[in-house]
Amino acid sequence: MIIGTPPAEVASALAATGVRLGLFRDRLMWYPELPSTNDVAALMAAREASEGTVVVADAQTAGRGRRGRSWCSPPGAGLYVSVLLRPVPRAAALLTLAAGVALAEGIARSTGLRTTLKWPNDVYVDGRKLAGILAEAGTSPAGTSYAVLGFGLNVTRASYPPDVGVRATSLEVELGTIVDRGLVLAECLAALAQQYEALHGPDGSTVRQWRDWARPMLNRLVEWDHNATVARGVAEDVDDAGALLVRTASGIERILAGDVRWS
Ligand code: BTN
């Protein structure tokens, strides 16, 4: 069920994707404009909305990125999407990696574009950022825990200010053609549904798939802020808990969260 009136290409792509939307099939809410889809999804979680609720906005006026950054969200230029999930603790640990894999898969299936994942889940093309994910956990007043997984994906060149063009990119810039936003949304949601289901099953392939998409970023020099100094090492792998494993002069460091800069 779609609540609101998405553009025709979005409605038809969602309808055509059908059962492949999995848990996201039942309740998608489309808004012309919101401050932040993550905030609205969190409000819905606080009111015990069902798992799989999807909040999409054509534009955001206060789109948020990680680490307090803002996420530029002009109308019709990108995808601004948040989904409400209630993962079991084992699945919660790998949720952000699984979301990165899902975006990379959804983009590849809908456009043919091959992207690279940068830990934990930024989506890059040739060193420029195409999409980002903001995962936020909370507990409702009734005590139910939830995760809101929001993603922003640049579809047209207008999705970021011109001066950011050295470090950002969009699907249309990369492909040199008009992109069907509806198809990209539908395939990303279908891939996310599949990845989320796999996280709850026995197969344990999330980390292996993440590694495949992240390969160009591995075995490269990284640095990060640590105790008021800059630490450096070589990003080698992720472990089963999703931590980045970095080889430093004093051995392997496990990085669980934070900003890692690739050189
Ligand atoms: C990042 O790379 O810093 C994460 C960006 C996440 C942006 C998306 S857009 C939809 C959702 N709503 C928000 O306010 N943020 C996320």
Q: Left (φ > 0), alpha (ψ -120 to 50) or beta: where does 158 sit?
A: alpha
Residue 60 is predicted with a pLDDT of 98
Ligand 1 and 147: CB distance under 6 A: no
Question: What would the pLDDT profile of 203-246 be if each residue is shown by its tens digit?
Answer: 779 999 999 999 999 999 999 988 889 999 999 999 888 899 99
Residue 15 is predicted with a pLDDT of 95
Atom of ligand 1 nearest to the CA of 73: 9
Cα–Cα distance between 113 and 87 in angstroms, integer?
A: 29
Among 151, 159, 184, name the best residue to mutate to test ligand 1's pocket (greatest count of ligand atoms within 8 A of Cβ).
151
Residue 104 is predicted with a pLDDT of 98
| Separation of CA 80 and ligand 1 centre (Å) | 7
Instruction: Return phi, psi of residue 43, to 5°.
Output: -60, -40
Mean pLDDT value across residues 89-118? 95
Ligand 1 and 64: CB distance under 6 A: yes
Assigned token pair, 148: 């809101």
Is the predicted pLDDT of residue 263 greater than 80, yes or no?
Answer: no
Residue 109: pLDDT band with limits 50, 70, 90: very high
The candidate with the shortest Cα–Cα distance to 95, out of 206, 212, 259, is: 206
- Distances from the Cα of 61 to the Cα of 39, 53, 80, 149, 228, angstroms: 12, 21, 11, 18, 34
Question: What would the pLDDT profile of 163-185 be if each residue is shown by its tens digit?
Answer: 988 999 999 999 999 999 999 99
The candidate with the shortest Cα–Cα distance to 124, out of 196, 205, 213, is: 213
| Separation of CA 249 and ligand 1 centre (Å) | 35
| Separation of CA 17 and ligand 1 centre (Å) | 24
Residue 31: pLDDT band with limits 50, 70, 90: very high
Cα–Cα distance between 144 and 263 in angstroms, integer?
A: 41
Are residues 143 and 217 in contact, defined by beta-carbon separation less than 8 angstroms? no
Question: What would the pLDDT profile of 119-155 be if each residue is shown by its tens digit?
Answer: 988 999 999 999 999 999 999 999 999 999 999 999 9
Residue 169 is predicted with a pLDDT of 97
Contacts of 224 (CB under 8 A, 6+ apart): 230, 231, 255, 258, 259, 260, 261
Residue 80 is predicted with a pLDDT of 98
HEC sequence for 55-109: EEECCECCCECHHHCECCCCCCCEEEEEEEECCCHHHHHCHHHHHHHHHHHHHHH
The listed range with the strongest mean pLDDT (56-60, 236-240, 257-261) is 56-60
Ligand 1 and 86: CB distance under 6 A: no
Cα–Cα distance between 242 and 219 in angstroms, integer?
A: 17
| Separation of CA 150 and ligand 1 centre (Å) | 5
Cα–Cα distance between 226 and 197 in angstroms, integer?
A: 36
Helix (H, G, I), strand (E, B) or coil at 129: strand
Among 91-95, 113-117, 128-132, where is mean pLDDT lowest? 91-95
